[in-house]
């Protein structure tokens, strides 16, 4: 029997109990585990993110798909199974591939869009990821860009526009055309807020080199804005961008140069579609000799901590 989204949810008892009690819960995505980071960094970051959410006083719910069920909350054996499954056996599930993911056996990992869909269906309002997807370099053509334009724009952006949620990240991924990504979010009515600085955080770099549309001094102010955004009932998400911890950040210029190099190489190698982002992240890890992986893992855990702090403030009302 094909059921609705609600029929497909398997919510872990600890998560269900927290939601029933109106307690703080943070959704965590799983594509960064299966496709974003190498083993064992991927499972270590998954565990450390859950621990960071708990440290803040909230309950973590890592979301993934297994044998036709949308799992909201994974136990440690499930995290390990997802992290060690051969990468090509795990489907990267976004909104457009969600029905396919739910009608096949085995593991699918959820991207930002699919995680938001599942979290929203479960009643979770706060979500942490590493870097949101967006407009890929060369997606829209223009001077110096790839010809012809690829139109590769992440379904993350559409989801952010339609699903009410607080999304904590370290900015759009550095592999993207960040100014174009900001323009799409602006058009689609999604507020992007930098915490503690005027510049938009640049994923593995402290700054993307672009001013943030809005900024707040600290996490408490970010939580206040998030409460207001959700209360207005505008319908879409608010994106809270927290810079990567300074001790592991890639220098801004290097992050940008390496991203451009990797994007050119991907184009030359004919890499397109959902495979592109994982390919770019792996290529940048190689070019930077692992420095990007250290930054990526630290920023993911930091985002989880901040999301936990925001969830606690939201739950207090
Ligand atoms: N953040 C990371 N690593 C990742 C991602 C986010 O630090 O791998 C994932 C998210 O799941 C996001 C996806 O939704 O990358 C974007 O993929 P695409 O560009 O194909 O939409
Ligand atoms: Mn894409």
Residues 158 and 188: their CA atoms lie apart, in Å, by 8
* Ligand 1: residue whose CA is nearest its atom 21: 154
Our CA angle for 237, 98, 241, nearest 5°, is 25
Asked whether 29 lines ligand 1 (CB < 6 A), one says yes
Mind listing the pLDDT tens digit of every residue in the chain (317 residues)?
568 999 999 999 999 999 999 999 999 999 999 999 999 999 999 999 999 999 999 999 999 999 999 999 999 999 999 999 998 999 999 999 999 999 999 999 999 999 999 999 999 999 999 999 999 998 987 655 566 888 999 999 999 999 999 999 999 999 999 999 999 999 999 999 999 999 999 999 999 999 999 999 999 999 999 999 999 999 999 999 999 999 999 999 999 999 999 999 999 999 999 999 999 999 999 999 999 999 999 999 999 999 999 999 999 97
Residue 277 within any structural domain of the chain: yes
* Ligand 1: residue whose CA is nearest its atom 7: 130
Our count of domains for the chain comes to: 1
Residue 24 within any structural domain of the chain: yes
Supply the pLDDT for residue 68.
96
Neighbouring-strand partners of residue 216 = 195
Residue 184 within any structural domain of the chain: yes
Count Cα neighbours of 184 within 13 Å in the Cβ-side half-sphere.
25
Q: How far is the centre of ligand 1, averaged over its atoms, from the C-alpha of 258 (Å)?
A: 18
Point out the residues that are catalytic: 29, 173
Structure tokens that stand for 140 in this block: 């829209």
Instruction: Answer whether 43's CB lies under 8 Å from 80's CB.
Output: yes
Residue 244 within any structural domain of the chain: yes
Q: How far is the centre of ligand 1, averaged over its atoms, from the C-alpha of 241 (Å)?
A: 15
Provide the residue range defining the domain that includes 119. 6-316
* Ligand 1: residue whose CA is nearest its atom 20: 274
CATH assignment at residue 168: 3.40.1790.10
Ligand 1, atom nearest to 155 Cα: 21
DSSP class per residue in 209-260: SSB-SEEESSHHHHHHHHHHHHHHT-SS-EEEE-PPPGGGPBPHHHHHHHHH
Residues 230 and 316: their CA atoms lie apart, in Å, by 14
| Ligand with minimal distance to 133 CA | 1
Residue 1 within any structural domain of the chain: no
């Amino acid at each position: 029997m094909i059921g609705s989204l609600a029929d497909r949810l398997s919510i872990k008892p600890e998560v269900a109990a927290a939601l029933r009690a109106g307690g703080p819960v943070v959704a965590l995505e799983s594509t960064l585990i299966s496709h974003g980071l190498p083993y064992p960094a991927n499972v270590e970051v998954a565990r450390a993110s859950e621990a960071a959410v708990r440290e803040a006083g909230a309950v973590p719910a890592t979301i993934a798909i297994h044998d036709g069920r949308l799992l909201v909350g994974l136990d440690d054996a499930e995290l390990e199974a997802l992290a060690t499954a051969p990468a090509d056996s795990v489907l990267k599930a976004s909104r457009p591939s969600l029905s396919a993911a739910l009608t096949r056996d085995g593991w699918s990992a959820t991207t930002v869009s699919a995680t938001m869909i599942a979290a929203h269906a479960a009643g979770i309002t706060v979500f942490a990821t590493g870097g949101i997807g967006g407009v890929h370099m060369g997606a829209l053509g223009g001077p110096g860009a790839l010809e012809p334009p690829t139109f590769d724009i992440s379904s993350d952006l559409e989801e952010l526009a339609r699903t009410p949620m607080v999304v904590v990240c370290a900015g759009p991924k550095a592999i993207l055309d960040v100014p174009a990504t900001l323009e799409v979010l602006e058009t689609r009515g999604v507020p992007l807020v930098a915490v503690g600085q005027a510049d938009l955080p640049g994923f593995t770099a402290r700054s993307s080199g672009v001013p943030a549309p809005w900024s707040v001094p600290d996490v408490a102010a970010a939580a206040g804005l998030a409460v207001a955004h959700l209360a207005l009932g505008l319908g879409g998400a608010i994106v809270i961008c927290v810079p990567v911890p300074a001790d592991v950040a890639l220098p801004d210029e290097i992050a940008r140069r390496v991203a451009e190099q990797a994007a050119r190489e991907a184009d030359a190698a004919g890499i397109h579609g959902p495979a592109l982002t994982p390919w770019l992240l792996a290529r940048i890890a190689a070019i930077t000799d692992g420095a990007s992986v250290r930054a990526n893992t630290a920023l993911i855990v930091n985002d989880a901590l901040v999301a936990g702090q925001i969830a606690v403030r939201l739950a207090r009302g």
